[in-house]
Amino acid sequence: MEKVDDRTILEKFTEDFVKVLERHAKYIIVSGFVAILHGRSRGTEDIDIITEKLQPEKFALLHEDLIKSGFECLQSRSSEEIYTYLKDNTSVRYVKKGTYLPQMELKFARDQIDNYQITTRKKLPLTGTDFFFPSIESAIAFKEELLKSNKDLKDAQHLRVIYGKKLDELEIERVKTEIKKLRL
Amino acid sequence: MKKKEFDEVEVWANFVKTHKREEWKPQLKDLIDSQIIIANRFYKNLEKTPQGKEKIRKLMNLN
């Protein structure tokens, strides 16, 4: 039987982007898109992605590869200038050339929590995708302890229902403790 | 946060958890895709207006 392609615009866009990105760096998809890929019923305009920190020359290669693959950065065309944002822990936004949305909001790992999330990254079969994510425990901890907006708390609630008793509550608390230590 | 709002999230999450992807994904796909299509259409129209590009940069906090 023919397989139905039920991928959303966001999934196709992310597939195209990470196909390029993974040639240059390890990454994780974080924040709202994680919940949406688990069936959370809400829209979003951007996908948040964290990569390991790259040196300027390596980032220039990634940027060039993205441009060749049909993406453009909304902040600047110059990889040197884009790098100054990333170095200062500011995210930069890539779109498919000639469009405004969706946007890939890219940032470098900023501390040991981000590095830990990248080191322990995993694929999550329930999403039906081949992307890399932090652990679900980590995703929930960030939403409940750091982000805390109404939307984020609902995302966390949704993920808690989906994973139920499979969640490692001790790991959620451990990540929350790290967040308090390093981010709050 | 109001309890009712959380209940709505739980009802949908339980539907997703207990039903096949084929049953819930098309509903979600329509919601997500339409938001992107409508917003892109709006920005393309705004782009053609006087100072349209500057307005878009402001809306996207790019300045």
DSSP chain A: -PPP----HHHHHHHHHHHHHTTT--EEEETHHHHHHTT-----SEEEEEE----HHHHHHHHHHHHHTTEEESS-S-HHHHHHHHHTT--EEEEETT---SEEEEEE--SHHHHHHHHT-B--GGGTS---B--HHHHHHIIIIII--HHHHHHHHHHHHHHGGGS-HHHHHHHHHHHHHHT-
CA distance A66 to A11: 17
What is the reported pTM?
A: 0.91
Average pLDDT over residues B1-23: 82
Q: Which residues of A touch B16 (CB under 8 A)?
A: 38-39, 162
Contact B16, B8 (CB under 8 A): no
Q: Which residues of A touch B54 (CB under 8 A)?
A: none
Task: Name the strand (E) or helix (H) holding B9.
Answer: helix B3-18
Which residue stretches of chain A have pLDDT < 70? 1-4
pLDDT at A47: 96
Q: Do A10 and B17 touch (CB under 8 A)?
A: no
pLDDT at B61: 81
Interface test with B, best of A4, A161, A165 (most B CBs within 10 A): A161
Mean pLDDT of chain B: 87
Tens of pLDDT, residue by residue over A158-170, are 999 999 999 999 9
Query: Chain centroid to CA A100: how far?
Result: 18
pLDDT at A178: 95
pLDDT at B62: 80
Would you state the structure tokens that stand for residue A69, as one six-digit string?
A: 């693959």
Q: A151 to chain B nearest CA, in Å? A: 11
Would you state the structure tokens that stand for residue A157, as one six-digit string?
A: 């609630």
CA distance A95 to B57: 14
pLDDT at A3: 62
A9-135 folds as Nuclear Transport Factor 2; Chain: A, (3.10.450)
Tell me which residue of A5, A34, A21, A47 sits closest to A122, measured CA to CA. Answer: A34
Tens of pLDDT, residue by residue over B17-42, are 999 999 999 989 999 999 999 999 99
Cα within 13 Å of Cα(B16), Cβ side: 26
Is A56 near chain B, with CB under 8 Å?
A: no
Structural domain boundaries in chain A: 9-135
CA dihedral A66, A68, A71, A72 (to 10 degrees): 90
